[in-house]
Amino acid sequence: MATQSNHLSRIRSRLARRLGLRAAGGLFLLASIALGFFAIAASLVAGTWEALVAGHVVDALLAAATFMVAVAMGAVAAGWLFAPAARPDGVRLPREAAEPLHRLIERMSRRFGGARIDAVWIVDDMNAAILQRPRWGWGGPMETHLLIGLSLAHSVSRRQFSAILAHEFAHLVLQRHGVQAWWGHLRAWWFRALDRCVEDATWLGGMLERWSANDLRDAMRLSRLEEFEADALAAQVVGAPLVGEALVEVALKERFLSEDYWRKIMEQSSFEPRPVIRPFREMGLGVMAGFRRPMPGSVDIRHVYGQQASASDFHPTLNERLRALRVAAVVPRAGANTLANVCLGPLLPTLSWIFDRAWWEDSRRDWRQRYRSARCA
């Protein structure tokens, strides 16, 4: 098992390094294009002046027009590079606001050699993730942020969350430490810049897309390898059965929330001008009362969540991850209190209010359109 893990790590490291170097090359190319336009503009300044001195007004106007075009093109090309890493989008939790959660994170950090987390955030999705970004967007000290979804906190127990946390720390120590963090930063920066280039300059963007087509496929492959590698290290720290249990629990709860809970929330728009139920405020009770756990024991995950990831997936399927861990797809027994109740209890009213308000701002137009359509039907 250790030999297989080391082999996987070597493949992943080579792929990450190659993609990082390719990303650096792409960014250098875009920077060269921007500097080239600015160099052309600079050379035209003297030509415009000389034409004016010589009384060649038409030549001066043409040079000035070319200068303006070159500056504009240089600014557009520079704008492609102006794509700093995303900032965390959520509520930052200082230690004094969530002491139990920070203690849990620190204990897990010590099990991974003291890997550092600079800030902990609560976000609005069903996920936990490590986000790294240079302090000033493009450069500076690399900062590490741990993002924890409020929906996830309502869905797993503290024990199951420890396995999820172990998986995220495994990403950090294996794939986001030292130079590895900068390879990841360059890859993400390059793909953001490429997207902007494709939008603004179809001809150039098309050429760069063809040049980087294999890079995108390799990035998908790298992402899947990183998930398997992080699962393997997390299993060494907290045990493969607990990692597998957490994976199944998250998959079951995520399906319940997306296909049942949120669907019922939006169904209110057929007869209510505004939601009667505030989704994040009621989520804990909704999961407890509405989630119907399958009978404990083995469950055929293959028919529910798929057997193999498609070529466009950045993550392996649940079934693939369980198979790699060599654990059965067992439905976990109903646990004790959720992470939200144990570690975030006093904060839940405030967090729910913040995310409910943000959700309504995003959903209000769609909600009202549904309501009007139902009234007219």
Gyration radius from the chain CA atoms: 26
Within 10 angstroms of residue 158's Cβ, the number of other Cβ atoms is 20
Q: Answer whether 134's CB lies under 8 Å from 216's CB.
A: no
What does DSSP say about strands 119-123 and 91-92: parallel, antiparallel, or unpaired? antiparallel
Could you tell me the strand order of the sheet in which 119-123 lies? 91-92, 119-123, 142-149, 128-134
pLDDT tens, position by position, 235-247: 999 999 999 999 9
> Would you list the domain boundaries of the chain?
240-376
Query: Of 132, 134, 127, whose CA–CA distance to 165 is shortest?
Result: 127
Gap between the Cα atoms of 111 and 99, Å rounded: 19
Weakly modelled stretches of the chain, pLDDT under 70:
1-5, 46-59, 295-313, 336, 377
Helix (H, G, I), strand (E, B) or coil at 119: strand
pLDDT of residue 281: 94
pLDDT of residue 202: 82
pLDDT of residue 51: 64
Gap between the Cα atoms of 287 and 154, Å rounded: 7
